[in-house]
Structure 1
Amino acid sequence: MIASGLNQGTSGNVSVRCGDEMIITPSGVTYDDLVPEMMCRVPLDAAPDLKGPYPPSSEWRFHQTILRENPAQSAVVHAHPAHATALAVQRRPIPACHYMIAAFGGNNVPLVDYALFGSAELADMIASALKDRHACLMANHGAIVTGDTLARALWRMEELENLARIYLLAQTNGTPTLLTDEQMQDVISAFAGYGPRQSTRSV
């Protein structure tokens, strides 16, 4: 995510389902310094142990809630990409400005209200928004995506940031023309199964 410009420093976090647990990135460790031994195992139905040398990301609650309530999804990626976060700061969802919106399961990428990072309130709002979507923006915070594989989740985050950039650029000298609900439904139907199946890079 650092190499692709989606994240910076220690912001953002990633989790993957592993049986009745999830493996999640630790809190406060720069991506270049991460090694497998630092990854954290967190049960999907209980609070994690926060006393170890590498406690899980402070956002573990929404990762846990998403994976517990969406059994078809196996990976969660959260980041603060600049264009998507700019829309989140403006508290605007991404409408059907481009057919690739279908990659996120509907005719928009919704926005959830602001709540303190790491809070149960934020986790509940995100889980609700992702019942019929694969992505949402988080007011004054960033973006989150899901996937049935980690490769598909990372692909969605890259696509989300690109769409946010397109949408913002399209507004600089006019008003974007949005696709209709009927047009988007045709795209969503044609989109079934679209996207990468497995990663071709190290993660």
Structure 2
Amino acid sequence: MENRWNSGIHDRKLKEQICEIGRRVYDKGFAAANDGNISIRVGDNEVLCSPTMICKGFMTPDDICAVDMNGDQLAGKRKRTSEVLLHLAIMKERPDVKAVVHCHPPHATAFAVAREAIPQCVLPEVEVFMGEVPLAPYETPGGQEFASTVVPFLKATNTIILTNHGTVSFGKTLEEAYWKTEILDAYCRILILAKQIGGITYLGEQKSRELIDLKKRLGFDDPRFHNESCDLCGNSAFRDGYKEDAPQQKAFEKAPDYPGYLQKPTYDSGNGNGNIQLPAGMNMDDLVKMITDQVVSAMGK
């Protein structure tokens, strides 16, 4: 069946792509035995997905199933994965999403079972390519209630940790969706290793802001571009999505209390450890004018 993506439920190349991502997931140790599932949207009402009860490292194109956007199976000799409703919930809420990867990467899943908030303002690549990662509440996998747990978080991220379960990442292509998983697990591994040797070091306010500026220039979206209440590196972008208490940082020192990206920044004092303390009654504009006047005066001597 042809459609606006010029593909369809019988497209062998796309089935091979699902198998290739399955091999990467399996080889990375992100999916033991029959864990995980993968999907790609191929039409207005058609999605290719991995079947249930199969190792993702050993799939062939002939194993791949097709379902409609309600989860009803359209094609395939094997039964579709029971967790495809999670994939479909994401695609329905995010029409830009064409591919979804769900698996159990061990380091990220360690954060899932501990319900530990993932620190921000630590690693440049994570700030630019990922941003804040929410933790969806636990629900028994397989049903619509499980699929609905991610919906409150979908507008602001392409990567979600599923509490006591694993991760789900998504994007315009299968590779993009997979890369999000790989970045997340690598970051979580670094955090765990850093904890073992003493802890993490947060970036300063200015450097954190520079990374968000870079993210904006590269064309990536971020909740901090739109929400004044989002602080620069605290876990706050998804506060409205948490029906229960938001996850807290227990294993790591709390992130510094920097103002939000849309708020007026403070300025580093030069020693990397603090901000300028303004004299009583003086605002930042007055301070800048005072320093400028002093520089101009010195140049005239």
**TM-score of the pair, normalised by structure 1:** 0.84
Matched ranges for 1:61-100 at <5 A? 61-96=85-120, 97-100=122-125
Q: Hey, what's the Cα distance between the residues in 2 that align with 1:75 and 1:52?
A: 19
**SS of corresponding position for 2:142:** coil
- Match 1:7 to one of 31, 52, 73: 31
- Match 1:103 to one of 120, 129, 137: 129
| Residues 68 and 141 of structure 1, relative CA distance in 2, 3 Å threshold | same
Matched ranges for 1:148-167 at <5 A? 148-167=172-191
Gaps of 5+ in 2: 1-24, 221-301
Gaps of 5+ in 1: 194-203
8 Å CA contact 1:94–1:109 kept in 2: the answer is yes
- Match 1:36 to one of 61, 67, 83: 61
8 Å CA contact 2:39–2:47 kept in 1: the answer is yes
Deviations 1:35-80, CA, capped at 9 Å, x for gaps: 2222111111x23149975111111111011012111111100110
**Who is 1:54 aligned against?**
78
Deviation at 1:112, TM superposition (A): 0.9
Q: Hey, what's the Cα distance between the residues in 2 that align with 1:52 and 1:150?
A: 20
Q: Hey, what's the Cα distance between the residues in 2 that align with 1:125 and 1:157?
A: 19
Q: Hey, what's the Cα distance between the residues in 1 that align with 2:154 and 2:75?
A: 30
**Which moves more between the two structures, 28-37 or 66-75?**
28-37
Q: Hey, what's the Cα distance between the residues in 1 that align with 2:74 and 2:202?
A: 46
Q: Hey, what's the Cα distance between the residues in 2 that align with 1:118 and 1:90?
A: 22
- Match 1:192 to one of 219, 228, 231: 219
**Who is 2:15 aligned against?**
none
Letter matched to residue 213 of structure 2: D
Q: Hey, what's the Cα distance between the residues in 1 that align with 2:144 and 2:87?
A: 11
Q: Hey, what's the Cα distance between the residues in 2 that align with 1:110 and 1:83?
A: 15
Deviation at 1:32, TM superposition (A): 4.0
- Match 1:137 to one of 151, 161, 175: 161
**Who is 1:146 aligned against?**
170
| Residues 99 and 39 of structure 1, relative CA distance in 2, 3 Å threshold | same
Q: Hey, what's the Cα distance between the residues in 1 that align with 2:166 and 2:97?
A: 20
Identity %: 33
Q: Hey, what's the Cα distance between the residues in 2 that align with 1:136 and 1:147?
A: 12
8 Å CA contact 1:91–1:139 kept in 2: the answer is yes
**Who is 1:26 aligned against?**
51
Deviations 1:155-176, CA, capped at 9 Å, x for gaps: 1111111011011112223332
8 Å CA contact 1:22–1:42 kept in 2: the answer is yes
**SS of corresponding position for 2:34:** coil
Deviations 1:62-103, CA, capped at 9 Å, x for gaps: 101101211111110011011001110101232213122232
Letter matched to residue 219 of structure 2: A
The size of the alignment, in residue pairs, is 190
Deviations 1:142-188, CA, capped at 9 Å, x for gaps: 01101111111111111111011011112223332334563552242
**Which moves more between the two structures, 159-168 or 169-178?**
169-178
8 Å CA contact 1:62–1:120 kept in 2: the answer is yes
Q: Hey, what's the Cα distance between the residues in 2 that align with 1:61 and 1:189?
A: 32
**Structure with bigger RCO (C-alpha 8 Å, 6+ apart):** 1
